[in-house]
Structure 1
Amino acid sequence: MPLPEYKDLLLPTLKKHFGYDAFRAQQQAIIEHVLEGNDTLVIMPTGGGKSMCFQVPALLFEGVTLVISPLIALMKDQVDGLKANGISANYFNSSQTAEEQYTILEQVANRNIKLLYVAPESLPGLSNILNDRFISCIAIDEAHCISSWGHDFRPSYQQLGFLKKSIPNIPIIALTATADKATRQDILDQLQIPHAKQFISSFDRKNISLEVRPGTDRVKQIISFIKKRPNQSGIIYCLSRKNTEQLTKKLNSNGIEATAYHAGLNFNERNKVQEDFVYDNTQVVCATVAFGMGIDKSNVRWVIHHNMPKNIEGYYQEIGRGGRDGLNAHALLFHSYSDVIQLRRFALGAANEDVQIAKLERMKQFSEATTCRRKILLSYFGELLEANCGNCDVCKNPPQIFDGTIIAQKILSAVYRLNQQEPIGMVLDVLRGAHNASVLEKGYQNLKTFGIGKDIAWKDWQHFIIQLINQGYCEIAFHKNNALQLTEFSKHVLFNGAKVPLTKPLHIAEPKVAEKAPRKKAKRSKTTTEDTLFERLRKLRYNIAKEEDIPAYLIFSDKTLIEMERVRPMSLMDLMDVSGVGQHKAEVYGDEFIAEITNFLGAKLKKEKKKATHLITYDLYKKGLSIEEISMQRKLKSTTIYSHIAKLHSDGKNINIYDFVSKSEVAEVKKAKSALESPSSLKPYYDYFEEQLDYFKIRLALSVIENA
């Protein structure tokens, strides 16, 4: 199919399956690039819509899109989400029997599925279909795992370069939320797609408020923080298994229900903790970073780091698990000198020890920064922000600043004259005029900038350089021996007279360890929830999710429920106008959510809004119009008209229901109702009939049964 024809199908496909009227940011450009058959690298923050970049093309390609994903739990979550949107998808991994795997391969051969998820370790089992006869596209999710420069390196990912050799004409799209320049280049090299176009979205997650606090009395602070946010889901990341268990006990003894997660638990224990959290049965989890990429939950409202992470990539990805639905979220980080010592110990002896130590130092600098924290995060990933964000603790409580332009010019000039090839230590030695062996061997004592900063202490120069890095005026090239390099902002300072604000060095004493006070066991207090339409819809969503055994957010996100509360749709057509409601979900869940909204608004509104529209349909039915004719005249979906027919029949109107559903189909639905023990939604019936009986027939048959 030529690209122009694809273009005409993009928005209808997006609306039908995902419920959105428009693409976000670069999504459409990426999708069109992939549909043209091009290799692509996508760097997009968590919650930015990466999955859409390969899921929409998958629906338009003829064959299957192979999605390489690092975790079984993440695959299952993605597949459940696709099925909830009416999309045929499956996964292939070691947890399945040989018979199950054979059935999946048959589905691929018969073109019965559009997306197939697989871990890199399971690729040998797909050897019979790894060709352009069956595969239309390959998506490599969490692509930073390929690179040893990345923070979650997995050796099995490094073997994926064979895919381009095996199927050279199939487009590869690699996607990740966190990759600095070195990691991005390594991904392209390892996958053998050197000419892939790079789409780098803004790393700015404006909805996440950033805060850093000293690690003094952190447990007491965490308890206070959580108690101010009842009924909110959150994750607390800890440095060790022992930390997770100790903190969980302390939270439980203070009336906060929490569970621990770490690699020391067996598979079933870990799986239960993760599922309870994803399914909204547990609100708070204390976890090591093992609780990582498998968490694809949209309504996490806060993320706490009990200890400082080992690098900024990990920190960014972990806080990115908050606020994936676009609503406000809070990221709170505690740091202490003891965290740094322990993390340094972990890095010793590693193959890339120097890189790990350098990245840990950047994380430490972020924690101790006195400038806008969002600027630091963005500049780390190569994105420069001129204005302060206004949504971090430094911006909300700014320190005193002074005009540091002359200091900045001296630093940047030294970096320039060192040909951007030396790390911070050497830049400091040149500024201070040090006559050590390293300086003298390279002849740096002859540079114009040698010794121009003798009047400022070594530690203070270090403080100023870190501020320049944090503000994006220079950057560390980890893949070039940690060399300090200039950025676009540097030119404005060196040549255009741009002013640079700096803060004076703060000599912070190490925090004192607070004495342990005697603790009384707290009683668990039940939080009362206000009876709002949102809470009613949330409860309905939870009950349906529990019955269908899927995470609640896969039905509708919090953001979609909030819009339902605002718009208050009274028909399936109105519901389809709500962002996040596609055709499939409207057909499956629409009646229940509309009924809940109607019940909330009261009997009068129910009569005026719902009964009236049914009666209009009844008048047209009595005139002999068909369902299609009524649908066209009323400009309503045929599924809405069928729901009217069911309601009219239930109200005792003169409807020949067997014009729309046969007696044998009614009998089959009656059997299903008994076998399924009267489920509260239509989805179990639909699955029972293996998707061979339409939703409207199930709905009409139930109307006959209930009024018999």
Structure 2
Amino acid sequence: MPYPLDVLHATFGFTQFRGVQAEVVGRVLAGERTLAVMPTGAGKSLTYQLPSVMLEGTCVVVSPLIALMHDQLRAAEAVGIRAATLTSADSNRAETIDRFRAGTLDLLYIAPERASTGYFRELLGSAPLCLFAIDEAHCVSEWGHDFRPDYRLLKPLLDQFPSVPRLALTATADAHTRADILDQLGIPAEGLIVAGFDRPNIRYAITPRDNTTRQIMDVIAEADGPGIVYAQTRAGTEKLAEALAASGRPTRAYHAGLDPAVRAANQAAFVASEDMVMAATVAFGMGIDKPDVRFVAHAGLPKSIEAYYQETGRAGRDGDPAVAHMFWGADDLARARQRIAEVEPHRRAGEQARLAALAGLVETAECRRAVLLRYFGENPPAQCGNCDNCLKPPATVDATVVAQKYLSAIFRTGQMFGTGYIEQVLTGKSTERSLTSGHERLSVWGIVEGEEAALLKPVGRALMLRDAVRANPHGGLEFGPGARAILKGEAELRLIVPPKRERRRRGGAGATPNPVGHPLFEALRARRREIAQETGLPPYVIFHDSTLRDMAMAKPASLSDMSRIAGIGARKLDAYGPAFLEVIAAHA
């Protein structure tokens, strides 16, 4: 068997492993069972792709989405790995099955629904196997944020082949979920490898929602590449896509309600683009393996910290700087609590704990990254230097008295009215409703003015976050469990004073270190674009921006020189090397 580092360089163009890759690959090559928890962008797919090249037989990869499989298939084939998918969307299934049985495939990608069928079990018995890889393994756990019942059927399948090593991979799993994955997939506790969750190249920022479109336009103005904007409804994605087109960027919408052909075309356009903005629901999720996404913006609260981590993790997979900016409102919390009320009773406590943790991340004046990493069981430094709270430590103000007045107004008006009306009562704005209801005679009428009045909206949001206030099904505000302690003065409420808005141009904190405007770098990108159009491949599958940066700096004069650049394996050197050498020679 060749040395792993030799195969790593020849196939992928890298001279050394990153992070825990070497440890994971070593366990796979030794025939061990392993669960690897690695952050997005840490090179999880390499940990099964490389063994698939080194070992006799086929590595069967269980993956949850057809789009993701086809994306990974393109990337594998581009470096010379013999790969195929077996899905309902494939027209060459007979040929794929023949190659699988003959042992001429390194990788076979399959969905969990197909993997659990009797036919596929029989097929596995007729083919040489070297490894089972279970991607997005958190889907196997009911404790995970993205549970898929078909993943629960995998263990009996795996157990039919006890001598074949199994490798489970995920970027998103807390301690409880990790333990469940180990149990559900038959992996021993000593097989757990946790690489850490930190994505230091992502700058985290969280801001109350004001004018969502304008706020997201500001994020786009800073970014030098493509981005994803997550909206909470299908209609919201289409509305945002239309509004964000004013940025001058190409924009598309993506949600499960679109015609499948339109949805596929929009995703393909995004994958191929170097500057598109995609407005999407979370349906635009695990199927995205695009490394050069420069920003992810949330136009509302995600479902949980796990979901937030995974969705923001789609930014900056190439290691270059990226931004994750969340914009939230109190109505997001009302919807979240309504959703929790509708889940099965045995899952409510877990969902409520997740929402409370997410509220803590939103409300904190501390380092966002530290809060995020502590949630996943890590012990990070107190400051990261790359989140909004670290870059510009926020001022805070004691708003406990205003909160007590707010709660008193809710109580004295019967816990029946929404935020707008409560604010009118507290500031003494007379309306027909306040007159007929007799609320203008209440002790809370008009007791908030001046600087306190400016705190009412953020106080309302903060009370929602702390579950001191809840919205009933009719939109009226009522007390939650956290109200009593604030009313009695047993808990204080401090607010973050939002910094003044500063609009920055491209080249801000989310900008990549690409030498944009450099004649050779731009010429190399243009040639990559031409090859992408000719081959039907996304530009990043040909070469990442970081590889083009290194080319522009090193100016290799031969294929031998070019082979020393990271990210250029033997297959890509043969396929694309001469075309890029021509560009470099023309700029010498």
Query: TM-score, structure 2 length as denominator?
Result: 0.78
Rg bigger for which structure? 1
Contact 1:31 1:57 in 2 (8 A): yes
Select the residue among 265, 287, 290 that pairs with 1:294: 287
Establish whether residue 111 from structure 1 lines up as the match of residue 106 from structure 2.
no
- Tell me how far apart the structure 1 counterparts of residues 356 and 525 of structure 2 sit (CA, whole Å): 43
> Percent same amino acid among aligned pairs?
41
CA deviation string 1:669-696 (max 9, x = no partner): xxxxxxxxxxxxxxxxxxxxxxxxxxxx
Matched with 1:316 is: 309
- Tell me how far apart the structure 1 counterparts of residues 334 and 192 of structure 2 sit (CA, whole Å): 37
Establish whether residue 574 from structure 1 lines up as the match of residue 561 from structure 2.
yes
- Tell me how far apart the structure 2 counterparts of residues 538 and 241 of structure 1 sit (CA, whole Å): 34
Larger relative contact order (C-alpha < 8 A, sep ≥ 6)? 2
- Tell me how far apart the structure 1 counterparts of residues 248 and 297 of structure 2 sit (CA, whole Å): 18
Contact 1:41 1:196 in 2 (8 A): no
Contact 1:94 1:122 in 2 (8 A): no
The one-letter amino acid paired with 2:265 is: K
- Tell me how far apart the structure 2 counterparts of residues 399 and 299 of structure 1 sit (CA, whole Å): 31
Cα 1:254/1:577, change in 2 over 3 Å: closer
Contact 1:89 1:113 in 2 (8 A): yes
Contact 1:39 1:196 in 2 (8 A): no
In the TM superposition, 1:554-573 aligns within 5 A as 554-573=541-560
Shift in Å at residue 103 of structure 1? 1.6
CA deviation string 1:527-578 (max 9, x = no partner): xx73532221111111101111111101101111111111111110111100
**How many residues matched?**
478
- Tell me how far apart the structure 2 counterparts of residues 596 and 508 of structure 1 sit (CA, whole Å): 52
- Structure 2 unaligned regions, length at least 5: 397-461, 467-490, 499-515
In the TM superposition, 1:405-554 aligns within 5 A as 505-507=493-495, 530=517, 532-554=519-541
Establish whether residue 64 from structure 1 lines up as the match of residue 58 from structure 2.
yes
Establish whether residue 187 from structure 1 lines up as the match of residue 200 from structure 2.
no
Shift in Å at residue 273 of structure 1? 0.8
Matched with 2:476 is: none
Secondary structure at the aligned position of 1:70 is classed as coil
Matched with 2:374 is: 379
Establish whether residue 175 from structure 1 lines up as the match of residue 169 from structure 2.
yes
Contact 1:75 1:117 in 2 (8 A): yes
- Tell me how far apart the structure 2 counterparts of residues 157 and 272 of structure 1 sit (CA, whole Å): 28
Matched with 2:129 is: 135
The one-letter amino acid paired with 1:220 is: R
In the TM superposition, 1:613-628 aligns within 5 A as none
Contact 2:291 2:540 in 1 (8 A): yes
Contact 1:571 1:594 in 2 (8 A): yes
Establish whether residue 208 from structure 1 lines up as the match of residue 196 from structure 2.
no
Shift in Å at residue 131 of structure 1? 3.5
Matched with 2:17 is: 23
In the TM superposition, 1:275-354 aligns within 5 A as 275-280=268-273, 283-351=276-344, 352-354=347-349
Matched with 1:681 is: none
CA deviation string 1:442-479 (max 9, x = no partner): xxxxxxxxxxxxxxxxxxxxx9xx99xxxxxxxxxxxx
Contact 1:68 1:140 in 2 (8 A): yes
Contact 1:39 1:195 in 2 (8 A): no
Select the residue among 140, 144, 148 that pairs with 1:150: 144
Shift in Å at residue 397 of structure 1? 1.5
Establish whether residue 9 from structure 1 lines up as the match of residue 3 from structure 2.
yes
CA deviation string 1:594-616 (max 9, x = no partner): 11111122xxxxxxxxxxxxxxx
Shift in Å at residue 224 of structure 1? 2.4
Secondary structure at the aligned position of 2:517 is classed as coil
Contact 2:241 2:252 in 1 (8 A): yes
CA deviation string 1:119-151 (max 9, x = no partner): 011122422332496111100000011111111
Secondary structure at the aligned position of 2:124 is classed as coil
The one-letter amino acid paired with 2:255 is: H
Contact 2:226 2:292 in 1 (8 A): yes
CA deviation string 1:253-278 (max 9, x = no partner): 45443111111102111101110000
- Structure 1 unaligned regions, length at least 5: 1-5, 402-462, 468-502, 511-528, 602-708
Secondary structure at the aligned position of 1:127 is classed as helix
The one-letter amino acid paired with 1:345 is: Q
- Tell me how far apart the structure 1 counterparts of residues 374 and 519 of structure 2 sit (CA, whole Å): 42
- Tell me how far apart the structure 1 counterparts of residues 379 and 274 of structure 2 sit (CA, whole Å): 40
Contact 2:221 2:247 in 1 (8 A): no
Query: TM-score, structure 1 length as denominator?
Result: 0.65
Select the residue among 233, 237, 242 that pairs with 1:240: 233
RMSD of equivalent CA atoms: 2.3
